[in-house]
A and B are shown apart, each in its own frame.
Chain A
Amino acid sequence: MEKNTKHLPVQHIIGFLLSIVLTLLAVWAALGSDLPVKWIIIAIMVLAVIQAGIQLFMFMHMTESASGGGHVPWNMMFHGFVLAAIVVAGSLFTMSFGFTHDHDGDHSGHGSHQEEQQMHD
């Protein structure tokens, strides 16, 4: 790491270019491609996870040894990401029961009165 300081920050430049490419790829997949919606969502979420990884590993000095390896609490970060996954997936799973709405069905009216009806159901 210290030996690189005089040179170009190669890792940052590669990370930046990769982020731009991945962003454009996600935009193309979402707005320009003819993929089914389900596959678009899966594809762009995977691209987002890869981009987050680029930030964490190529920009945030997670893996450098200059600190004696003691500056990143891996167990805490792992814990944080696992909790995040459980919170998001768990909420979606739990709320998928009896919390449906009509928007994907008939589009004739997304009015308040349909919503109201559901609340009484």
Chain B
Amino acid sequence: MSTQEWSTGPYEYRTQEGRMTILGFWIFLGAEVVLFSTLFATYAVLFGRTADAPLPGDLFEPGITLAMTFLLLTSSFTCGLAIHNMRAGSLKGLITWLIITLALGLGFLGFEIYEFVHYAHEGATLQSSAFWSAFFVLAGTHGVHVTLGIGWAVLLLIQLVQRGLNPVTSRKVFVVSLYWHFLDVIWIFIFTSVYLIGMVV
């Protein structure tokens, strides 16, 4: 399938197929930007329409939000270190940092599940008001992406153990790393425009 091959440079760029896959994944990320923009727009428009449900300022807690942000930021960093190790040819380093990344991602998910359950106990659910519907759909869609990312990376870890580093596994790991960094980009905007603004206004 791949007609052109290169013998130098990072593995993931060595075949035409690898380059095209990465290009295609960037196009997917462009579409994800638009998907999340619709959820952000819905949230922004419905901001304040809490009806009888609790106000966001009463439920959002700086501590938990900050913990989630640092978990995801650090996981994005360790994911970068994983790719750095991959390019240095260290399979062991790649696997180690990838597992640390996933552990941090799981920590983030744990906090998010705790947070959602806590809000539900306080009377803020998907059904309570337009505001909370928009909130749960926005934050929940991001959470689902994180969950999918963790599952995807676990499958890749198995492949890495079985097949080692080659142009195909490298390309797959590189693509999942792009996805993971991208989730952090989305989270930065959720953190800022949902949680921080929710606590200020």
A: residues with CB less than 8 A from B are 1-2, 5-6, 9, 12, 15-16, 19-20, 23, 26-27, 30-31, 37, 40-41, 44-45, 47-48, 51-52, 55-56, 59-61, 66-68, 70-73, 76-77, 79-81, 83-85, 87-88, 90-92, 95, 99, 101, 103-104, 110-112, 115
Contacts and interface: CB of A to CB of B under 8 A. Distances in A.
A99 B87 contact: no
Contact of A20 (B27, B30, B70, B193): B70
21 contacts: A1-B87, A5-B87, A5-B88, A15-B80, A20-B70, A47-B192, A52-B188, A55-B188, A59-B79, A59-B184, A71-B19, A76-B26, A76-B30, A77-B33, A80-B33, A84-B34, A84-B40, A87-B41, A88-B37, A101-B49, A115-B49
Task: Enumerate the 10 nearest inter-chain pairs by beta-carbon distance, A residue then B residue, closest first.
Answer: A80-B30, A84-B37, A91-B41, A48-B192, A80-B33, A16-B77, A30-B196, A67-B13, A12-B80, A9-B84
Given A31-B62, A31-B200, A48-B188, 6 more contacts: A23-B73, A44-B192, A59-B76, A68-B19, A88-B44, A110-B55
B77 A12 contact: yes
A63 B179 CA distance: 17
Contacts of A30: 196-197, 199-200
Contacts of B127: none
Contacts of B34: 80, 83-84, 87
A90 to B, nearest CB: 8
B1 interface: no
What is the interface of chain B mostly: helix, strand, loop, or mixed? Answer: helix
A69 B26 CA distance: 13
Contacts of A61: 83, 178
B88 A71 contact: no
Contact of A68 (B13, B84, B200): B13
Contact of B185 (A2, A56, A76, A92): A56
A115 B51 contact: yes
Contacts of A70: 19, 23
